[in-house]
């Protein structure tokens, strides 16, 4: 995991954990503790100082003795004073819940569904819930993920057919880099050799994945994958929308141009839309709880999408 | 002595509480013992700092208890101590390298969001138990949980503290009522955050997106539901969802066809909430048609009509 800045509470947790480790395993190098807990050496030192400075002023008691000279030399040496604390407390409800939810989330991913070690872990954690309440994961998705994992393991490009959000189909060769599972959608993050750019492809829009014998170039492996799955478009338009409280999540599905704000019972904001033809589906799904305010072309795109759905006509795609 | 940092203050507070006599310590004892408290100017700021610290300790698993003991003078009768069991790990609690890798993946899925810190600190704690070997074969997958509902944080806090909350809830039929519930658990069910909570009539599920007010924490404590009660409520939802079936017709080779992994034009799906399913289906526009139940078909049609009307 990436090393992150730690706040006071996290440092406190680190201090508890370092005490447990050092009292059990003996003196440790600062660098090794940093590696173990995936934090910086500075964070380890700060946490150790928290242990050193834990004197009881009322009773003049020293809870722990820390060798500060050794700390300067890169070693952590702690011995117990008056404190009975010998190991860190068991996980809190909040810690357990956060891990249990994460594990439930993993269990809902097809490639982990039958994983015996995950099931055993979820039983051990005891906070876990059923991974899913319905069984809507198509077999095809599981097969796709398996193929992509093979490609990722063997570092090979894949070829596939892709249908974009406006219904346009294309054949692509992609260097797979990672599979993201965000919310409830799977995305293949990879370099598209066809469009010559780093892209995110929704797995449910990919068909007929085949492994090629072409290896993923080293230069591609070194590419930094952006956090967001939103692609960039040269023809981006600003669209002002409003949403009821219940449908405010619509703002999570687009890059926002201005922070959404509360106006009466509604949330208003401006989103950046790459293709108006694709806007209809994102707005119409909320059945009127989301409204496009401007521009008129965006309102028309949403209206047309809903009208076509009512009349049952096929959605026309781009003429690309 | 230099001014204590927050981490130093919390660590000292924990040590003082652990070394306390069986009758516990008064608030003043703690204020005198912990340097950051004794050196503060006192008053409201100190009280607020102490309240924040108590919450932080609980969030980190230090189960702080307050017991009333009338044998002490006024102002000294509230006694603070650490509950038994705080340092008791389940017997044989050991994880394999792969399981630790899975915990790491689960923690990473929170990214920098709320609960991310709790998950990361939980992982740190597990590693301090000597479980250090991590199987990193899982690096090709990157799960990411998204929890942006305003109610998420306050509900998570109330679940940790076992305190009753009040909020306004809007049902899918549009009716809105005030609910007073004991929050038990937050769950992500097929992309939707759900609060499992108990009211006078039993344990129910509440979609976070339908909580339309701020969460008000009454700070009134409740006795948590048993694991069996929670499990039973969760199984009820699974049964309920599996009994709800919808049949749709998808246009061959369309995006809907691919999405639902269709093998014929008719696809049967189960669902936990008709309004949510309607939203999922409406995204595919004319790519599909609802055949049954008729209530779902009506809901989808009415939804599209509302969209046309809102954009006329």
Same domain? B99 vs B139? yes
Interchain CB contacts (distance < 8 Å): A and B: 404
- Nearest CB among B6, B261, B311 relative to A302 is that of B311
Q: Are residues B16 and B68 in the same domain?
A: yes
Instruction: Using an 8 Å CB-CB cutoff, list chain A residues near B25.
Output: none
Residue B151 lies in a domain: no
* Domain count of the fold of chain B: 4
Q: What is the reported pLDDT for A132?
A: 66
In a domain? residue B1: no
* pLDDT for residue A183: 78
What residues form DSSP beta bridges with A160? A172
| Per-residue confidence (pLDDT) for residue A316, from 0 to 100 | 44
Which domains does chain A show, CATH number per domain?
A: 8-80 (1.10.10), 93-125 (no CATH), 139-221 (2.30.30), 237-311 (no CATH)
CA of A80 to nearest chain B CA: how many angstroms apart? 11
- Chain B CA closest to residue A309: B286
Quick one: pLDDT at residue A231? 65
In B, minimum Cα distance to A14 occurs at B124
Average pLDDT, consecutive stretches of 10 residues, N- to C-terminus, chain A (320 residues): 71 93 92 92 94 81 89 93 82 87 85 85 77 66 86 93 86 93 86 91 89 95 81 78 92 88 93 89 95 96 95 50
Q: Which two tokens stand for residue A85?
A: 């604390």
Query: Model ipTM?
Result: 0.82
What pLDDT score was predicted for residue A171?
94
Rounded to whole angstroms, what are the CA distances from B166 to A244, B132, B220? 21, 42, 11
- Long-range CB contacts for residues A258-265, cutoff 8 Å, separation at least 24: none
The pLDDT of residue A215: 96
Pair B254, B233 in one domain: no
Q: What is the pLDDT of residue B182?
A: 97
Minimal Cα distance from A139: which residue of B?
A: B261
What's the alpha-carbon Rg for chain A, to the nearest Å?
A: 26
Q: Which of A94, A113, A240, A307 to mutate: most B Cβ within 10 Å?
A: A94
Same domain, B100 and B47: no
User: What does the pLDDT read at residue A3?
Assistant: 53
pLDDT at A78: 92
Selected for mutation to probe chain B from A53, A81, A140, A207 (highest B CB count within 10 Å) is: A53
Residues of chain A with Cβ-Cβ distance to B64 below 8 Å are none
Among A64, A104, A163, beta carbon nearest to B255: A163
Query: Of A1, A90, A280, which has the smallest distance from its Cβ to B108's Cβ?
Result: A1
CA distances (Å), origin B25, targets B62, B69, B76: 16, 11, 8
Q: Please, what is the angle between helix B294-310 and helix A296-311, to 10°?
A: 150
Pick out chain B residues at pLDDT < 50: none
The conformational region for residue A74 under phi > 0 = left, psi -120 to 50 = alpha, else beta, is: left
Tokens of B289: 């048609």
Closest chain B CA to residue A137: B260
Query: Within a domain: residue B152?
Result: no
Q: What is the pLDDT of residue A284?
A: 96
Range(s) of the domain holding residue B237: 161-212+220-242
In this predicted structure, what is the pLDDT of residue B69?
Answer: 79
Verify whether the Cβ–Cβ distance A94 to B118 is below 8 Å.
yes
Q: Which among A105, A168, A154 is positioned nearest to A132, based on CA atoms?
A: A105
Find out whether A110 and A142 touch, Cβ atoms under 8 Å: yes
Query: Which residues 6+ apart lie within 8 Å of B279 measured at CB?
Result: A285, A286, A287, B303
Residues of A in contact with B260 (CB under 8 A): 136, 138
Q: Are residues B165 and B237 in the same domain?
A: yes
**pLDDT for the residue numbered A233:** 61
Partners of B41 in beta bridges: none
User: CATH number for the domain including B21?
Assistant: 1.10.10
Find the CATH number of the domain harbouring B182: 2.30.30
User: What is the tens place of the pLDDT at every residue in B110-124?
Assistant: 876 778 888 988 999
């Amino acid at each position: 995991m990436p090393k992150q800045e730690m706040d006071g509470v996290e440092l406190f947790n680190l201090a508890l954990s370092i005490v447990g480790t050092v009292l059990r395993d003996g003196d440790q190098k600062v660098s090794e503790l940093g590696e173990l807990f995936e934090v910086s050496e500075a964070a380890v030192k700060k946490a150790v100082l928290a242990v050193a400075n834990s004197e009881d002023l009322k009773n003049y008691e020293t809870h722990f003795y820390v060798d500060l000279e050794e700390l300067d030399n890169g070693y952590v040496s702690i011995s117990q004073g008056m404190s009975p604390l010998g190991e860190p407390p068991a996980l809190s409800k909040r810690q357990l819940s956060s891990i249990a939810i994460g594990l439930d989330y993993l269990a809902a991913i097809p490639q982990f569904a039958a994983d015996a070690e995950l099931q055993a872990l979820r039983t051990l954690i005891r906070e876990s819930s059923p991974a899913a309440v319905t069984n809507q994961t198509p077999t095809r998705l599981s097969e796709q993920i398996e193929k992509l994992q093979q490609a990722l393991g063997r570092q090979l490009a894949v070829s596939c057919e892709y249908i974009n959000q406006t219904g346009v189909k294309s054949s692509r060769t992609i260097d797979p880099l990672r599979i993201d599972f965000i919310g409830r959608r799977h995305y293949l993050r990879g370099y598209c050799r066809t469009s010559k750019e780093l892209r995110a492809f929704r797995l449910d829009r990919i068909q007929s994945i085949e492994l090629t014998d072409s290896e993923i170039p080293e230069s591609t492996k070194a590419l930094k994958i952006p956090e967001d799955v939103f692609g960039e478009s040269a023809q981006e338009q600003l669209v002002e929308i409003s949403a009821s409280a219940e449908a405010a999540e619509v703002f999570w599905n687009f890059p926002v141009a201005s922070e959404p704000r509360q106006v009466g019972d509604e949330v208003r904001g401006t989103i950046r839309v790459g293709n108006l033809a694709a806007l209809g589906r994102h707005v119409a799904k909320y059945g009127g709880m989301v409204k496009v305010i401007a521009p008129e072309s965006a309102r028309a795109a949403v209206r047309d999408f809903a009208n076509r759905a009512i009349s049952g006509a096929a959605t026309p795609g781009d003429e690309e | 002595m230099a001014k204590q940092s927050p981490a130093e203050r919390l660590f000292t507070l924990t040590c003082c509480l652990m070394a306390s006599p069986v009758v516990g310590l008064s608030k003043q004892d703690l204020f005198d013992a912990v340097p950051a408290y004794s050196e503060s100017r006192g008053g409201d700021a100190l009280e607020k700092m102490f309240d924040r610290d108590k919450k932080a300790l609980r969030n980190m698993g230090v189960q702080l208890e307050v017991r009333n003991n009338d044998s002490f003078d006024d102002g000294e009768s509230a006694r603070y101590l650490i509950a038994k069991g705080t340092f008791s790990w389940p017997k044989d609690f050991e994880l394999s390298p792969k399981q630790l890798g899975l915990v790491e993946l689960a923690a990473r899925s929170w990214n920098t969001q709320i609960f991310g810190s709790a998950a990361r600190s939980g992982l740190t704690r597990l590693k301090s138990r000597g479980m250090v070997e991590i199987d990193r074969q899982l690096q090709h997958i990157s799960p990411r949980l998204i929890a942006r509902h305003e109610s998420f944080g306050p509900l998570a806090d109330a679940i940790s503290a076992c305190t009753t909350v009040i909020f306004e809830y809007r049902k899918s039929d549009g009716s809105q009522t005030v609910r007073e519930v004991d929050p038990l658990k937050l769950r992500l069910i097929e992309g939707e955050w759900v609060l499992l909570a108990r009211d006078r009539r039993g344990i129910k599920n509440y979609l976070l997106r339908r909580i339309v007010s701020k969460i008000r924490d009454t700070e009134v404590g409740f006795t948590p539901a048993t694991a069996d009660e929670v499990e039973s409520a969760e199984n009820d939802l699974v049964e309920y969802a599996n009994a709800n079936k919808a049949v749709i017709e998808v246009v061959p080779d369309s995006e809907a066809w691919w999405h639902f992994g269709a093998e014929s034009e008719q696809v049967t799906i189960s669902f936990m909430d008709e309004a949510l399913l309607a939203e999922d289906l409406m995204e595919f526009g004319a790519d599909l048609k609802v055949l049954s139940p008729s209530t779902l078909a009506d809901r989808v049609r009415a939804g599209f009509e509302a969209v046309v009307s809102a954009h006329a």
